[in-house]
Structure 1
Amino acid sequence: MNVQRADPLEEVLTLVGATGHLSVGLVAGGEWAVAFEPPQGVKFNAVRRGHCLLTVDGVPEPIRLDEGDCFLLTQPRSFILAGGPGVEPVPAHPIFVAATDGTARVGTGDDVVFLGGRFDFGERAQELLLDGLPPLIHVPGRTPEAATVRWALDQIDAELRARPLASTLVTEHLALVMLIHVLRLHLAAAGPGEVSGWLAGLADPVVAPALRAMHARPAHAWTVAQLAEVAAVSRSTLAARFKQVVGQGPLNYLSGWRIELAAERLRRGDGTVAVIAREVGYGSESALSNAFKRVTGASPRDYRRRLGAPVRSGSGLGSAT
């Protein structure tokens, strides 16, 4: 079966509305250590010069960060950046409050220079994306695979130094480029247990073709047999492998993704419930309403009203649906 295959990672990142924000930079030298409270959003830092130790709450061993390395904290965990072991850390907040010219300073000198910021996501990001990732992703910067991450960081640096027109917008978009490449690198190199759910499926040669097919045509009346044909395996092999890797069967996954698409359309106020039902793969408005309430606990109409999105009628003229 020849089918169009979509990019699930791109679709999920678009659906959860990822945005990047640069923070005040950090320059450190001598004997120093800084303790950070659990951050809001997904925190990232990159070492632009020098090296340091990163200690994250719940991660057994400190990690050495060398020049060009970066890391993502996908969960709100406290962490410490330090010039070496055994230094008593000082709280980060006063240091950053006292920052001048966009740079916070700690210790003596400028042995280590950091670039940092955070990524914010919409309300569904935790379940759809972040729960499938480890709490810490470390990307060594000097590997050939990290070339695009290095390029993005270099461009962000250049924008921050020169401050040309629209530099804030440019740096925020470059930060998203960096995020996507960090996720690509992690997914490509992840070992067993380092990703879960549909993210693990993207790296599986049997599951990935079926995932892409469902994302390309979510409204299609897929059967396990058709998806198995796309994946070039037997029906029983696909069903077992999908359940093992993703944690649920392929048609259960498809139903969940259709509800996510419907919810996103409802949040935007985009189309009537009847139109949304048809476009995400339900034969009628009532079929979508029943499935939507079973998953979310609210009818599509109540969900849309709760969020303050426009409520449209089934025909565009009559009563609200």
Structure 2
Amino acid sequence: MDVLSDVIAVTRTGRPRSAHVRWHAPWGQEFASVPGSAGFQVILQGSCWLLPPGAEPVRLGAGDVVFLPHGTGLALADSPKTVTAPACGPDDPRLSRSYVSDSVDRSGDGGPVTVVLCGAYQLELSRTHPLLLTLPDLIHLPVHGSHRPELRSAVELLAAEVENPRLGTDAAVPALLDTLLLYILRAWFNEQPGPGNVTGWAAALNDPPVTAALHAIHRDPAAPWTVAGLAAEAGLSRAPFARRFAMLVGQPPLGYLTWWRMATAARLLRMSDAPLRSIAAQVGYTSEFAFVHAFKRTHGAAPGAYRRSG
């Protein structure tokens, strides 16, 4: 698997949720901050205003995507002057469903219509990939940007399933939500400035040597990797590779290797009944004792306790 696919597979947990909402002006809706989640808003029809906390309003048009990787709160409204109302609380029974189809009329006076596709992904905080941690609180992908057609296609397919549930929708919606998340992240990373103008994971994923080493780690975390071995994958000598990797990724090669192994082990513990020795071997530990020690140091709990807590 490649790095971006792994980030989604390991970090996201539970069933993602989505809603298709039709607003009639005047309207204004607050979306509270939800730690441990990521959310999105896609304008399907009409226009509205994004009202981020502490920042200037941003006009959104049909096709615009707003992504909140850290569950940050925001508000949407038909006008920057419209008073916004709180969204439904976290105990709303609709939120336990895999999808929601809703229609909201705030005015009843036949005002201009705005249709919004919104959704949320639940994240496992102990496994949150550093790639997601470095993203800004709010990502706005305007419709007039150079986004890939697959992002628009995913939005259209998801909107159709949520607006008109049919046989198989319960299976289709979670898969389409994961696909949409992938395309949102891909679009954002692809549109960052070139090497030398950006740092962090946006630069790491656009740097061929570092990307080659990351792919090697993700492809086979159980391999007995050394800095020299990863440098060979990257096509660089040991010292320049180690400096380059640490500068872009934010930690040394073997530090990231250990973190990824423990994140992978955590997912295996929650998703399978495999014995500890088998999971230890899958992430590169020949000693179960060494694996338990490393896991507890990373996650603050022994593997058995972590598995039972899920």
* TM-score using structure 1 length: 0.81
Partner of 2:147: 145
Which ranges of structure 1 fall in alignment gaps of 5 or more residues?
1-5, 309-321
Partner SS state of residue 260, structure 2? helix
Partner of 1:239: 242
Partner SS state of residue 289, structure 2? helix
CA–CA distance in structure 2, aligned partners of residues 294 and 91 of structure 1:
40
Partner of 1:82: 77
Q: Write the letter of the residue equivalent to 1:242.
A: F
CA–CA distance in structure 2, aligned partners of residues 237 and 161 of structure 1:
53
| Cα displacement (A) at 1:217 | 1.3
| Cα displacement (A) at 1:208 | 0.7
CA–CA distance in structure 2, aligned partners of residues 221 and 232 of structure 1:
18
Relative to structure 1, is the Cα distance of residues 15 and 90 closer, same or farther in structure 2, using a 3 angstrom cutoff? closer
| Cα displacement (A) at 1:193 | 9.5
CA–CA distance in structure 1, aligned partners of residues 73 and 215 of structure 2:
36
Tell me if the contact between 1:25 and 1:114 (Cα under 8 Å) persists in the aligned partners. Answer: yes
| Deviation readout 1:282-321 (Å, 9 max, x if unpaired) | 12112212222322333333433x426xxxxxxxxxxxxx
Larger RCO (CA within 8 A; separation ≥ 6):
2
Relative to structure 1, is the Cα distance of residues 127 and 223 closer, same or farther in structure 2, using a 3 angstrom cutoff? closer
Partner of 1:35: 30
Relative to structure 1, is the Cα distance of residues 155 and 229 closer, same or farther in structure 2, using a 3 angstrom cutoff? same
Q: Write the letter of the residue equivalent to 1:170.
A: A
Q: Match for 1:276 among 279, 286, 289? A: 279
CA–CA distance in structure 1, aligned partners of residues 151 and 76 of structure 2:
21
Tell me if the contact between 1:71 and 1:136 (Cα under 8 Å) persists in the aligned partners. Answer: yes
Relative to structure 1, is the Cα distance of residues 101 and 244 closer, same or farther in structure 2, using a 3 angstrom cutoff? closer
Partner of 1:317: none
Partner SS state of residue 252, structure 1? helix
| Structure 2 residue 46 is matched with structure 1 residue 44 | no
Moved more, 157-166 or 248-257: 157-166
Q: How does 1:110-121 map to 2 (within 5 A)?
A: 110-121=112-123
| Structure 2 residue 105 is matched with structure 1 residue 105 | yes
Tell me if the contact between 2:11 and 2:129 (Cα under 8 Å) persists in the aligned partners. Answer: no
CA–CA distance in structure 2, aligned partners of residues 194 and 20 of structure 1:
31
Partner SS state of residue 295, structure 2? helix
CA–CA distance in structure 1, aligned partners of residues 12 and 82 of structure 2:
39
* TM-score using structure 2 length: 0.84
Q: How does 1:247-266 map to 2 (within 5 A)?
A: 247-266=250-269
| Cα displacement (A) at 1:69 | 0.6
Partner SS state of residue 263, structure 2? helix
Q: Write the letter of the residue equivalent to 1:226.
A: G
| Structure 2 residue 217 is matched with structure 1 residue 222 | no
CA–CA distance in structure 1, aligned partners of residues 41 and 286 of structure 2:
47
| Cα displacement (A) at 1:146 | 3.5
Q: Write the letter of the residue equivalent to 2:177.
A: A
Partner SS state of residue 35, structure 1? strand
Relative to structure 1, is the Cα distance of residues 88 and 215 closer, same or farther in structure 2, using a 3 angstrom cutoff? same
CA–CA distance in structure 1, aligned partners of residues 306 and 101 of structure 2:
45
CA–CA distance in structure 2, aligned partners of residues 237 and 194 of structure 1:
19
Tell me if the contact between 1:57 and 1:77 (Cα under 8 Å) persists in the aligned partners. Answer: no
User: Size of the alignment, in residue pairs?
Assistant: 296
Partner SS state of residue 208, structure 2? coil
CA–CA distance in structure 2, aligned partners of residues 172 and 265 of structure 1:
20
What do you get for the CA RMSD once the two structures are aligned? 2.8
| Structure 2 residue 59 is matched with structure 1 residue 64 | yes
Which ranges of structure 2 fall in alignment gaps of 5 or more residues?
95-99
Tell me if the contact between 2:20 and 2:115 (Cα under 8 Å) persists in the aligned partners. Answer: no
CA–CA distance in structure 2, aligned partners of residues 28 and 283 of structure 1:
61
| Cα displacement (A) at 1:71 | 0.9
Relative to structure 1, is the Cα distance of residues 20 and 129 closer, same or farther in structure 2, using a 3 angstrom cutoff? farther
| Structure 2 residue 200 is matched with structure 1 residue 205 | no
Tell me if the contact between 2:50 and 2:60 (Cα under 8 Å) persists in the aligned partners. Answer: yes
| Cα displacement (A) at 1:268 | 3.1
Partner SS state of residue 53, structure 1? strand
| Deviation readout 1:217-257 (Å, 9 max, x if unpaired) | 11111121221121112211110011111111101111111
Partner SS state of residue 72, structure 1? strand
Q: Match for 1:53 among 28, 49, 56? A: 49
Which structure has the greater CA radius of gyration? Answer: 1
| Structure 2 residue 132 is matched with structure 1 residue 130 | yes
Partner of 1:23: 19
